[in-house]
Amino acid sequence: MKMKIRQIFLVLTFSITFVTALQTVPVIVASHKLVPELKSEINADNIEAHNVTSVTNMLKKLITACSSDEYLLVNIPGLQLDDITDNKVEQWPFVSNYLKMASSLVGLPWVHGTLDFQFLERYIIRNCQAEAVYVNSVNHEEVAPYYDVRTRVIVVNLPPLPIDGSRDGTLKEYDELIRKIIRKLPSPHYTLLITSDVTTTTHPVPHTFIRSNPDRFEIFNNIINHSSRATEYERNDNVKNVDPIWHKPKHTNDRYLRNKKKDEIHFFRDNELWMKYQQLVTTVIVMILGLFMMKIISIFGNIKQWIIDKKRKNQLIIEKNKKHD
């Protein structure tokens, strides 16, 4: 009898799990400078999965402040909560430090769906007059040092995490890469967003169990839920403590040429610029096409007239000839 009840219970649990399992991704957001009340856009706690709309609204709020000089959007395909809990903190020596230093810090273990990186990239470009840089491999060389002060969006798309024993090593490698990129930036004011563009299946866990085990069900609980984070405050007022790496250009002419070259390709590369002039360019093209069409139509009209005139002339000649006959 006891056995049977247990079986029924198991089957019930299984079917409930099957029905309510969610496809989720974890999200970490850290801003060096304070952007107050980010969390007001999302659920007060992480007990239930957040929806993408509310998380995107939170990110819009963060981006609208334009308080960072660099926005790193890091996609680690396959990343899940278990990769970024307290007992994996050794795999993230540098990122965990950046998180500790961040004035605004949000960790979401489960977001129901993936974030739209392209939208976020465009939103940053448009709002903060930023320029995009892409890193598509574990190679920080893809981020060239830069000298100007323009805001950057650095979109980092990493290879999917392996599911074998090398996973921890890969996490460490990615941690090091993020540090190398951040160290190249001329300004210490960065925003770091880490997530995955593929979801993993999350089975529901009783709420009481989540509440009593934050080290297992929160992202880096010791950092993100640190007692000092009970109230928000600016942790990086004295930014001069952070030694920025200034790359001194050797040749001012080099720099001029480089900037010139950059400006040349900007027009087609830079979405924002294109969006701004799209209408103008389209209007000009349409106008030119219109003039061209009008010209062609008038030429055709002339030819037609010419043919009609010719026919009429021939007709007259024939009629004349007939009369003569």
Q: What is the dihedral of CA 281, 287, 292, 296, to 10 degrees?
A: 150
| CA count, 13 A, side-chain hemisphere, 101 | 18
* Residue from 22, 23, 39, 43 in contact with ligand NAG (CB under 6 A): 43
Terminal Cα distance for the chain, rounded: 125
CB of 69 to ligand NAG, least distance (A): 28
**Choices 47-55, 91-99, 184-192, 297-305 (CB under 6 A): range interacting with ligand NAG:** 47-55
CB 79 within 8 A of CB 161: yes
Nearer Cβ to ligand NAG, position 53 or 64? 53
- Say whether residue 137 binds ligand NAG (CB under 6 A): no
Amino acid at 226: H
Q: Which residues are CB-contacts of 214 (< 8 A; sequence separation ≥ 6)?
A: 221, 225
- Return the number of the residue (149 or 230) whose C-beta is nearest ligand NAG: 230
Each residue 150-189 as x (binds ligand NAG by CB under 6 A) or -, in order, gives ----------------------------------------
Compute the distance between CA of residue 197 and CA of residue 213 in angstroms, rounded to an integer.
27
Distance CA 289, CA 268 (A): 22
Q: How many residues bind ligand NAG (CB under 6 A)?
A: 11
Residue 146: count of CB within 10 angstroms of its CB: 16
Contact residue for ligand NAG among 87, 208, 227, 238 (CB under 6 A) = 227
Per CB under 6 A, does 113 bind ligand NAG? no
- Segment 188 to 217, residues that bind ligand NAG, using CB under 6 A: 211, 214
Q: Which of 51, 157, 199, 236 binds ligand NAG (CB under 6 A)?
A: 51
Interacting residue ranges for ligand NAG, rule: CB under 6 A: 42-43, 51, 53-54, 211, 214, 225, 227, 229-230
